[in-house]
Amino acid sequence: MTTDANKTTDSAATDRTPLVELDDVSKYYGNIRALEGVSLEVHAGEISCVLGDNGAGKSTLIKIIAGRHQHDAGTLRIEGEETRLSSPREALDHGIATVYQDLAVVPLMPVWRNFFLGSEPRKGVVPFKRMDVDFMRRTTHAELLRMGIDLRDVDQPIGTLSGGERQCVAIARAVYFGAKVLVLDEPTAALGVKQSGVVLKYVAAARDAGLGVVLITHNPHHAYLVGDRFVLLKRGTMFSSNARDEITLDELTRQMAGGSELEDLRHELERTS
């Protein structure tokens, strides 16, 4: 017999099931170890930050979650079910949207056209079906406004927007099309301080909308401003994994900078009298 207490316990367990979970995942390209023994949990309403320098394995991790590459060892679970993603389309079908650093936009097309690119709604009957431009304009403006982006003219070419604004449009698009998990590849890498702040604000808005966010970055200060969990990769392996209350910004920065390796280097470079 199932009691109310049992139901409550079951519901709580379900609520804590990660949207995406990587358990001891590895990826090899021939004899090259791109990723080995990496674990990561992505929960609804949380931001999981993956940090590391160039060559740390961040790009490989993105490709596995986005369905571009399959893992060679370990387990990938989506909402508790073991899965092997065979394509980006399959990842999207599971609610995983990836926004890459080199945003896939057409610079000369208007904002609303880029917002619906590849998923344009149509109206009318065959053979007179045509794109519902009015709907796309209204929806783009409304969805951007809902995310806090007050863009007065959605007819302007998206290439006229700043890098931060284009990132924000991509985030709003993913939310509108039903993403449960949002993977962001170095969204602040090429931005100044002010634009980076704008992007992080909308990353937090996506989290507050209930999405699970994976923020890939090499900047511990940006990660710590918004992150709930932090995974640090070094040379394809997991160097550390901490919840926010388990690590300070100073310690995260120290680990990112090299930790004991940096201290050893400092001693080596000191002048001898």
Instruction: Answer with the residue of higher pLDDT: 104 or 131.
Output: 131
For the CA atoms of 44, 47, 52, 57, the dihedral, rounded to the nearest 10 degrees, stands at: 20
Taking the C-alpha atoms of residue 217 and residue 22, their distance in angstroms, rounded to an integer, is: 18
* pLDDT at position 58: 92
Mean pLDDT of the chain: 86
Whole-number Cα distances in Å, 17 to 77, 131, 245: 10, 40, 20
Give me the count of residues in the chain. 273
- Judge contact between 164 and 198, C-beta under 8 A: yes
163-176 and 133-146 helices, crossing angle to 10°: 110
* Fold designation for 17-106+178-269: Rossmann fold (3.40.50)
| Residue 79 tokens, joined | 């909402």
Tally of CB atoms within 10 A around 195: 17
Q: Is the pLDDT of residue 127 over 90?
A: no
Would you state the pLDDT for residue 8? Answer: 47
At residue 133, the 3 state secondary structure works out as helix
Beta bridge partners of 114: none
Identify the weakest region by mean pLDDT among 7-11, 69-73, 93-97, 205-209: 7-11
Kindly tell me if the per-residue pLDDT of 263 is higher than 80: no
pTM surpassing 0.85? no
Residue 259: pLDDT band (50, 70, 90) is low
